[in-house]
Amino acid sequence: MINIIVRRLVIAVPTLLLVSVLIFSMQKLLPGDPALMFAGEERDPVVLEQLREKFHLNDPLPVQYGRWLWQILHGDLGMSLRTEVPVGELISQKLPVTFQLSLTAMLFAVLFGVPAGILSAVKRGKALDYITGMIGLTGMSIPHFWLGIIMIMVISVQLGLLPSSGMVSIFDSPLLFFQSVLMPAFVLSTPVAAYLMRHTRSAMLGVLRSDYIRTARAKGLRANSVVFKHALRNALTPIVTMVTLLFGELLAGAVLTEQIFTIPGFGKLIVDAVFTRDYAVVQGVVLCSAVAFILLNLIADVVYILITPRLRYA
């Protein structure tokens, strides 16, 4: 296992280097000049030049990239052009909010998607299979922004059951956290649960056709034992892959949900940074998202070994 982790970490180095080049180069393709955003309405040429010199915007692109990469290697993600607050500090403030929201959404998705996929595979070709399939297709088809707005109008405005915006940390008040996160987590988890349901169904169907499953049934084992002890355990590998990858997408893709519910998280931070041409913040957020994906894939590899005996012995 140690060898696998070391190999993955070695591969991660050139991957992150390539990602950093793409982040920096594509960021520079955005239209507009960040200095114009901070120079005020008069936009004095002297002030503009001072701002460009202050933030090194006049330097050649390779020089700017080299300076940024050198700062990253020393643990410095730079300074926000808009607030002049270190990017690392901004990320440390916003990331826990998005992490709590994404973790709750993933919990909802797993609690619904995996059991629904197992049930659909066991009841293949029956009415329950078609019902779960229609629910899954609906979940993948409904846009986030539409579902969020409808839930705010009905549940918050008309019924007054849950708050329509903001989010309380679970460490401050678990009850208020659950009330504030219920709607955005449900909206965020809807397509994820649908993908998990369909993926779990496909994995379970492949395992349930195996010879050892037929042997287990012929030996007279109970149906629950065959499904959960023998079939599900061998179908977990692709499910774990999907869960880890989807969790990474939740962390990086909660932008619309956080905007709709006014949640001050990772997504709202990057949206505000793009609108204000805050290059350092955009680069830092995207780089952290890439690191999160790599770490989640590493965790998935470790879990593979733990749940798959033949990989452990190999």
**For 55-102, what is each residue's pLDDT tens digit?**
677 777 788 788 878 888 887 787 777 777 888 888 888 888 888 888
**For 223-262, what is each residue's pLDDT tens digit?**
777 777 777 777 777 788 788 878 877 876 677 788 888 8
Q: Are 60 and 174 in a shared domain?
A: no
Distance CA 244, CA 109 (A): 12
pLDDT over 90, % of the chain: 1
Burial of 127: CB neighbours in 10 Å, binned 0-12, 13-18, 19+: exposed
Evaluate whether residue 50 is within a structural domain.
Answer: yes
Give how far Cα 149 sits from Cα of 138, 156, 178, 189, 253, Å: 17, 10, 19, 15, 18
Average pLDDT score, the chain = 80
DSSP state string for 133-195:
HHHHHHHHHS-HHHHHHHHIIIIIIIS--S-SS----TTT-HHHHHHHHHHHHHHHHHHHHHH
Q: Are 160 and 200 in a shared domain?
A: yes
Evaluate whether residue 9 is within a structural domain.
Answer: no
Last-in-domain residue among 5, 39, 73: 73
Beta bridge partners of 79: 86
Q: Are 109 and 44 in a shared domain?
A: no
Q: Are 147 and 259 in a shared domain?
A: yes
| Domain housing 38 | 18-73
Q: Are 109 and 25 in a shared domain?
A: no
Evaluate whether residue 244 is within a structural domain.
Answer: yes
Evaluate whether residue 86 is within a structural domain.
Answer: no
Indicate whether this model's pTM tops 0.85.
no
Evaluate whether residue 7 is within a structural domain.
Answer: no
Report the alpha-carbon angle 149-101-185, nearest 5.
40
- Looking at residue 269, its pLDDT comes to 81
Q: Are 165 and 253 in a shared domain?
A: yes
Q: Are 58 and 28 in a shared domain?
A: yes
Q: Are 150 and 224 in a shared domain?
A: yes
Q: Are 252 and 160 in a shared domain?
A: yes
Beta bridge partners of 86: 79
Q: Are 158 and 213 in a shared domain?
A: yes
**For 170-210, what is each residue's pLDDT tens digit?**
888 888 888 888 899 898 888 888 888 888 888 888 887 77
Evaluate whether residue 85 is within a structural domain.
Answer: no
Whether the predicted pLDDT of 314 surpasses 60? no
Q: Which two tokens stand for residue 77?
A: 């993600």
Q: Are 59 and 108 in a shared domain?
A: no
CATH number where 251 lies: 1.10.3720.10
Contact 177, 167 (CB under 8 A): yes
Owner of token pair 């299979």: 129
| Dihedral class, residue 265 (left if φ above 0, else alpha if ψ from -120 to 50, else beta) | beta
Q: Are 23 and 56 in a shared domain?
A: yes
